[in-house]
Amino acid sequence: MADPAISQRLDELRETIRHHEYRYYVLDSPEISDAEYDAFFQELQELEAAHPELVTADSPTQRVGGEPLPGFVQVRHLEPMLSLANAKNEEELKAWYARLMKLCADAGTDYWDLPFVLEPKIDGLAVSLRYEEGRLAIGATRGNGDIGEDVTQNIRTIPSVPLALRPEAQPFPSVVEVRGEVYLPLEAFARLNEQRLAAGEPTFANPRNAAAGSLRQLDPRVTASRPLAAWFYGVGYVEGVEFPTQQSVLEWLRQGGFRVNPHIRAAAGADDIVEAFRWWQDHRADLDYDIDGVVVKLDNRQLQGVLGAVGRDPRWAVAFKFPPTTAQTKLLSININVGRTGVLNPWALLEPVEVGGVTVERATLHNEEDIKRKDLREGDIVVLQRAGDVIPQIVAPLTDLRTGLEKPFHMPDKCPSCGTAVVRVPREVAVRCPNPDCPAKRSESIKHFVSKSAMDIDGVGEKLVDRLLELGLIKDAAGLYLVKPGQLANLERLGEKSAANIVGAIEASKTRPPDRVLFALGIPHVGAENAELLIERFGSVAELSRASAEEIAETPGIGPVIAASVHEFFRDPRNQDLLSRLEEAGLKISEAAEAPAKGAEGGPLTGKTFVLTGTLPSLSRQEATEMIEARGGRVTDSVSAKTNYLVVGESPGSKLAKAEKLGVPILDEEGLRHLVAG
């Protein structure tokens, strides 16, 4: 007979541990430290080891147990697991809504303002957990909807899955099937793939596959090593309890100890649904899990029953899907574009395909190494991915679909524009055309010169630049300033008026400040920010052009590689010639930049770069900027590795995440005031 004091302590420990697991895994709000939790857990383990006859199946120590299975056993769900019809866009959603309203009216419902529940559509793996007398009895995959696979041993290893219902789950059904989605958090997915790559094992294509692979392990210890999580959103068979609404189901799940997604919300009417959908679309990237749409459910369960299903798809619910961010298409050819510095950039011509709501027919391919690593071949069917507003990427070829006619890629050894033998830059993956007269380089340099962030010459686009080069009207950027309206007016589709406008725009660009002129020259490694730093230090382009590499490298924020590149550029007689012709044309080459009016040289913040984000409690943006500049600091728009401080207020933007990633120190207003006070 067991000592009642021991049984009591075991009960207490289990209660305590369950409570803290619930706080930690389900509510995400722990009450004790990890060490305190570990102490309870260890005490329980030791006590159970001493009294094995007192171990219960729902003890927190019993999540990972049992031997590897020879195979999975099939189980029949007590109630079928349904699926969902899709709405691919707003029109389809509105059509579904209109049909539903009609059906509700036919069913005699006064259908105005019918409440709906909107849930994220988790991109994971559907599971059904059967609790008998409050204890987890069976955990199963969806299978074909009627019969799934028994993965109970694996489900038990997921820490947020209750092994027993909390007594707060009232009413307390003797049998209930709880439905939800198991997933692998994105961070865990990335880590898992890194580990697999390092171990030479095949990686998972996406978090969904990784979750599926992890749940369908015959050895539960493997599953336990993968940090799976779950969200719960429904019930199947329930013995003796009627839930009036979907909201009441969700509330019961919360009470029972299940993880219910905190973003679930109510909606009424199609417009409300569409608005919520857009919110999800904007915020999905912030989540730690993939969602592929929003599930819209009629709240009233009795009405759900009346409406029924078409096949497996209930009439009362729909999956309002986001446009897919991946697609498959054919890689037609790999082409080369020669950049302004002569780098050969491969790019892919694709069979046009819609991905993430836009039609894509080109993708950048970065460099030769990238193409080799992915083993991309002309003619391959490839997976394209476009996340948010990012440029489309080719993820991988579908090698299974190869016919044998695909052509592997080789970087040309001659420049496709001028035929000069290319050179490989040591320690860089890039291949360059060394010919300073290469027509492609000329054309790209001029296009950079006129672009918005450089000289911003309105009306001189890529086509016009190429046309002017072709006709021999210009040879480089300086030539633009000699073009006469009459020469332009003769060009195809250009009237006198637009010719005059273009010449006016070219003329107006002469007033651009020296740092813009420097950036427009297109010196390798000199972007807008570096150009600003260099002009700040040397005052003018002419002064910089006379500096030694060592002097340039003394500029705060400018390293030896950039300095060497700048120095080399100005040593080239062609570039010196370009510079003097630009000066003749009237550009600010020798003219010094207007001195920073603040007279703050030598202030305590000299050389320090700040970025502001969010709303500060008492300072306006303007005031904060003035405060920093008055002490010699600079305020720039975007966070980079060169940023010294990010000043953060209420509702910061993406700059915060970027600063955290780069390890940029973060200040609030008070911190800024301290710094300024020295």
Question: What is the binding site for ligand IVH (CB under 6 A)?
Answer: 82-84, 119, 121-122, 126, 142, 181, 233-234, 295, 314, 317, 319
8 A C-beta contact, residue 409 and residue 331: no
Give, for 374, the enclosing helix (H) or strand (E): helix 368-374
For ligand IVH, give the closer residue by CB, 177 or 181.
181
Which residue's Cβ lies closest to ligand IVH? 126
| Structure tokens belonging to residue 243 | 């839930």
Q: What is the DSSP letter of 357?
A: T
State the minimum distance, in angstroms, from the CB of residue 134 to ligand IVH: 24
| Structure tokens belonging to residue 288 | 């730690």
8 A C-beta contact, residue 424 and residue 418: no
Largest Cα separation within the chain, whole Å, is: 110
Tell which residue, 325, 287, 291, 125, has the closest CA to residue 208. 125
For ligand IVH, give the closer residue by CB, 83 or 345.
83
Sheet of strand 609-613: strand arrangement: 634-636, 609-613, 645-648, 666-667
For ligand IVH, give the closer residue by CB, 310 or 597.
310
- Please state, in angstroms and rounded to a whole number, the distance separating the CA atoms of residues 483 and 468: 9
State the minimum distance, in angstroms, from the CB of residue 348 to ligand IVH: 33
Between strands 645-648 and 609-613, the pairing is: parallel
State the minimum distance, in angstroms, from the CB of residue 301 to ligand IVH: 11
Residue 324 exposed, middle or buried by CB count within 10 Å (0-12, 13-18, 19+)? middle
For ligand IVH, give the closer residue by CB, 121 or 340.
121
State the minimum distance, in angstroms, from the CB of residue 143 to ligand IVH: 11
For ligand IVH, give the closer residue by CB, 317 or 331.
317
For ligand IVH, give the closer residue by CB, 289 or 449.
289
State the minimum distance, in angstroms, from the CB of residue 119 to ligand IVH: 4
- Please state, in angstroms and rounded to a whole number, the distance separating the CA atoms of residues 116 and 118: 7
- The one catalytic residue in 88, 102, 121, 588 is 121
| Structure tokens belonging to residue 484 | 């006469």
- Please state, in angstroms and rounded to a whole number, the distance separating the CA atoms of residues 524 and 543: 19
State the minimum distance, in angstroms, from the CB of residue 297 to ligand IVH: 7
State the minimum distance, in angstroms, from the CB of residue 287 to ligand IVH: 13
* SS3 call for 377: strand
For ligand IVH, give the closer residue by CB, 121 or 634.
121
State the minimum distance, in angstroms, from the CB of residue 165 to ligand IVH: 20
Residue 541 exposed, middle or buried by CB count within 10 Å (0-12, 13-18, 19+)? buried
8 A C-beta contact, residue 406 and residue 378: yes
Give, for 132, the enclosing helix (H) or strand (E): strand 125-132
- Please state, in angstroms and rounded to a whole number, the distance separating the CA atoms of residues 119 and 480: 58
For ligand IVH, give the closer residue by CB, 126 or 440.
126
How far is the first Cα of the chain from the last one, in angstroms, to the nearest whole number? 74
| Structure tokens belonging to residue 448 | 């950079």
Concerning whether 321 is annotated as a catalytic residue, the answer is no
**Number of CB atoms found within 10 A of residue 362's CB:** 13
Q: What is the DSSP letter of 388?
A: T
- Please state, in angstroms and rounded to a whole number, the distance separating the CA atoms of residues 130 and 135: 8
The catalytic residues are: 121
